[in-house]
């Protein structure tokens, strides 16, 4: 009998598609409700703010019988009584939603990580204590820049030593005691503007010389975390693999991990929730690249972009309005080498850009 899974969070399209391919009937609660989310789900409900998410979940529950609940970005610690949760419990997740607590966790494990910066020492990386995606992270070089950041965001924050290197991550699967690294990923950041450190895509596999060491460290981190299912660890690769954050949920790199290895991450997640882990790491068969395209100005997408479903995802409905800086669509490229994958990605971006604004 086909099981029904509810996937809830700020962005769920990637997880919903993996779950559908794994043979589940899928329902979703999602902020974006892009066109291609509808292709993977039997029912879905949208929401604007995360505070609205419980009401959206209740609406789905009123129409569907749910066998498993999977929570993604922004909803990791939500409490949904009466629905079997497939993943990490809220109590275990909580420390990894707090960057100060994650800092202490890395210290206890004695893994390389950025130290808290001394007061008055610059440059430093300033970031909110809570939050994902890196959108508000910034390098500040003076006390005046730090004060300006605090005034702009008015959020609890930490200041860490700035580590220069390649942004990277490891996608792991865990049963709460053991962990297996599924893939090492190179992360693409926006690179400029107010969201310079915001996530903008990924390349799998990461072929940096420290990738193997990074995967081993990630396995140790995730095994010690107590988290269950899909768990990611962010790194910066400099002279060593420096751990940055733990993501106790499906990560935005899912598309390129599956595109590179051929593995189904949702199946592996559900197996891990039942105590079953893969016997070995899946091997990449090709390079897979994804880039998120952002609006260069306020605009409306009027074209039907579903014709590009073979090379794109997170496809907006015709008539969708975007403000400058909003994420619009994801584009993919593949190849037998990193260069080949990026060349295909650039070609696909050139095709799609002309229909965006």
248-285: pLDDT as tens digits: 999 999 999 999 999 999 999 999 999 999 999 999 99
Largest CA distance in the chain: 61
**DSSP 8-state secondary structure symbol assigned to residue 110:** T
Q: How many CB atoms lie within 10 A of CB 71?
A: 28
Q: What is the mean pLDDT of residues 316-325?
A: 95
Q: Cis peptide before 104, with omega less than 30 degrees from 0?
A: no
**What are 97's two structure tokens?**
């939603």
The band of 134, judged by pLDDT with boundaries at 50, 70 and 90, is confident
User: Looking at the predicted structure, is the pLDDT value of residue 349 above 90?
Assistant: yes
In this prediction, residue 82 carries a pLDDT of: 81
Q: How many CB atoms lie within 10 A of CB 224?
A: 16
In this prediction, residue 136 carries a pLDDT of: 84
User: To the nearest whole percent, how much of the chain has pLDDT over 70?
Assistant: 99
Q: Could you identify the residue written with the tokens 């969201």?
A: 195
What's the order of all strands across the beta sheet hosting 228-237? Answer: 241-247, 228-237, 166-175, 179-189, 199-204, 287-294, 327-335, 312-313
In this prediction, residue 63 carries a pLDDT of: 97
Domains assigned to the chain = 4-86 (3.40.50.20), 87-284 (3.30.470.20), 286-357 (3.90.1170)
Positive/negative CA dihedral, 176, 246, 10, 347: negative
**Rg for the chain, CA atoms, rounded:** 20
C-alpha 63: how far from its chain's center? Answer: 29
In this prediction, residue 89 carries a pLDDT of: 92
In this prediction, residue 80 carries a pLDDT of: 79
The band of 135, judged by pLDDT with boundaries at 50, 70 and 90, is confident
pLDDT tens-digit series, residues 15-24: 999 999 999 9
Pairwise CA distance, residues 114 & 119, whole Å: 15
User: Looking at the predicted structure, is the pLDDT value of residue 55 above 80?
Assistant: yes
The band of 235, judged by pLDDT with boundaries at 50, 70 and 90, is very high
User: To the nearest whole percent, how much of the chain has pLDDT over 90?
Assistant: 80
Distances (CA, A) of 230 to 96, 173, 179, 325: 14, 5, 10, 29
Residue 206 vs residue 146, higher pLDDT: 206
C-alpha 287: how far from its chain's center? Answer: 18
Chain-wide mean pLDDT for the chain?
A: 94
Residues 6+ apart with CB under 8 A from 166: 186, 206, 208, 236, 237, 238
In this prediction, residue 150 carries a pLDDT of: 87
In this prediction, residue 335 carries a pLDDT of: 98
């Amino acid at each position: 009998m086909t099981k029904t899974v509810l996937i809830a969070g700020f962005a769920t399209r990637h997880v919903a598609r993996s779950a559908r391919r794994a043979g589940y009937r899928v329902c979703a609660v999602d902020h974006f409700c892009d066109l291609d989310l509808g292709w993977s789900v039997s029912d879905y409900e949208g929401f604007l703010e995360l505070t609205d998410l419980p009401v959206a979940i209740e609406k789905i529950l009123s129409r569907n019988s749910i066998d498993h609940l999977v929570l993604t970005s922004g909803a990791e610690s939500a409490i949904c009584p009466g629905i079997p949760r497939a993943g990490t419990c809220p109590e275990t997740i909580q420390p990894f939603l707090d960057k100060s607590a994650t800092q202490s966790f890395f210290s206890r494990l004695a893994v390389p990580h950025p130290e808290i910066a001394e007061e008055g020492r610059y440059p430093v990386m300033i970031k909110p204590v809570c939050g994902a995606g890196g959108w508000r992270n910034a390098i500040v070089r003076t006390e005046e820049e730090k004060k300006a950041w605090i005034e702009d965001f008015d959020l609890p924050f930490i200041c860490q030593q700035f580590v220069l290197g390649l942004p990277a991550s490891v996608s792991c699967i865990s049963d709460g005691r053991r962990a297996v690294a599924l893939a090492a990923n190179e992360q693409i950041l926006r690179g400029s503007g107010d969201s310079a450190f915001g996530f903008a895509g990924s390349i799998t596999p990461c072929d940096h010389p420290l990738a193997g060491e990074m995967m081993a460290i990630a396995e140790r981190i995730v095994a010690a975390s107590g988290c269950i299912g899909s768990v990611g660890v962010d790194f910066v690769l400099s002279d060593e693999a420096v751990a940055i954050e733990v993501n106790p949920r499906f990560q935005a790199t899912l598309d390129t991990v599956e595109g590179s290895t051929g593995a189904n991450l949702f199946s592996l997640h559900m197996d891990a929730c039942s105590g079953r882990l893969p016997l070995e790491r899946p091997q990449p068969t090709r390079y897979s690249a994804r880039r998120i395209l952002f609006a260069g100005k306020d605009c409306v997408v009027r074209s039907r972009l579903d014709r590009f479903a073979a090379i794109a995802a997170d496809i907006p409905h015709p008539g969708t309005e975007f403000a400058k800086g909003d994420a619009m669509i994801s584009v993919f490229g593949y190849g037998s080498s990193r260069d080949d994958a990026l060349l295909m990605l650039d070609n696909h971006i050139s095709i799609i850009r002309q229909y965006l604004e």
